[in-house]
Chain A
Amino acid sequence: AQKITQTQPGMFVQEKEAVTLDCTYDTSDPSYGLFWYKQPSSGEMIFLIYQGSYDQQNATEGRYSLNFQKARKSANLVISASQLGDSAMYFCAMREGWGGGGNKLTFGTGTQLKVEL
């Protein structure tokens, strides 16, 4: 079974609108972390946001927020007020087990986001 599932291979959104990128995960470990990365056409991987499994509140970083629904095992990324520069591939990833010092990440297949005028 896939540990990280991103069901949207591609998404379009109009500039200044909000967009939600879906991510569901599968783990039996009570301790895990969820990450979102942005990969623009230049190829670099840019860390956006992190949510720990024990965090009570949804993580937010500027225009990025993570809609964490633990019972549903979903960790959707919400981008508010989309900008043209948000056009990129977005990856959801999961770290299983205690993250003291970091553990390896398992990545989803990504969602290609295109922001239009």
Chain B
Amino acid sequence: DARVTQTPRHKVTEMGQEVTMRCQPILGHNTVFWYRQTMMQGLELLAYFRNRAPLDDSGMPKDRFSAEMPDATLATLKIQPSEPRDSAVYFCASGLVQNTQETQYFGPGTRLLVL
């Protein structure tokens, strides 16, 4: 049963530290998304890639966030320096279209707490 995996599952860090979150999309999926979920903002898109090329990162604070996909099996989201307002659950999702059926499967998320 193929799944999107994310590491770490939980991260507690101090303000100013660098945070790196990793995602392994489902093999064969050609689209990867990074979402953030908070109580106040709900689910919001940060960035996404198609065939490893960044398509849209308008939802991401550029001065501190960066998203990359160094190869088809790894996507990363970095925050440097981290701030308390970055505390949230960060989800990675990968997508596939087969015939007329489309799916986007989410990973388990990384729960980030910045003190």
CB nearest to A109 among chain B residues: B42
Residues on the B chain within 8 Å of A105, using CB: 33, 45, 104
> 6 A-B residue contacts at CB 8 Å?
A44-B106, A50-B103, A101-B30, A102-B104, A107-B44, A109-B42
A51 CB, nearest partner CB in chain B, Å: 9
Asked if B102 and A91 sit within 8 Å, CB to CB, the answer is: no
Residues of B participating in the A interface, judged by any CB pair closer than 8 Å: 29-31, 33, 42-45, 48, 50-51, 56, 89, 91, 93, 95-97, 100-106, 108-109, 111
Number of A interface residues at 8 Å Cβ cutoff, please give it.
Answer: 26
Asked if B89 and A43 sit within 8 Å, CB to CB, the answer is: yes
Asked if B43 and A91 sit within 8 Å, CB to CB, the answer is: yes
| Chain B interface helix/strand/loop/mixed | strand
Question: How far does the alpha carbon of A93 sit from the alpha carbon of B42 in the complex, in Å?
Answer: 12
Interface-centre pick from B29, B51, B93, B104 (highest chain A CB count, 10 A): B104
A4 CB, nearest partner CB in chain B, Å: 10
Residues of A participating in the B interface, judged by any CB pair closer than 8 Å: 33, 35, 37, 43-47, 50, 52, 54-55, 91, 93, 95, 99-107, 109-110
Asked if B33 and A104 sit within 8 Å, CB to CB, the answer is: yes
B4 CB, nearest partner CB in chain A, Å: 10
Residues on the A chain within 8 Å of B101, using CB: 50
Given A43-B111, A105-B45, A109-B42, A100 and B97 contact (CB-CB distance below 8 Å): yes
Question: How far does the alpha carbon of A37 sit from the alpha carbon of B103 in the complex, in Å?
Answer: 11
Asked if B106 and A102 sit within 8 Å, CB to CB, the answer is: no
Asked if B43 and A104 sit within 8 Å, CB to CB, the answer is: no
Asked if A44 and B108 sit within 8 Å, CB to CB, the answer is: yes
Given A52-B100, A101-B95, A102-B96, A43 and B48 contact (CB-CB distance below 8 Å): no
Question: How far does the alpha carbon of A45 sit from the alpha carbon of B33 in the complex, in Å?
Answer: 13
Asked if A102 and B89 sit within 8 Å, CB to CB, the answer is: no
CB nearest to B29 among chain A residues: A102
15 extra A-B contacts, CB within 8 A, seeds A102-B29, A106-B45: A33-B102, A43-B108, A43-B111, A44-B106, A45-B91, A46-B106, A47-B105, A47-B106, A52-B100, A52-B102, A101-B30, A101-B31, A102-B48, A102-B104, A110-B42
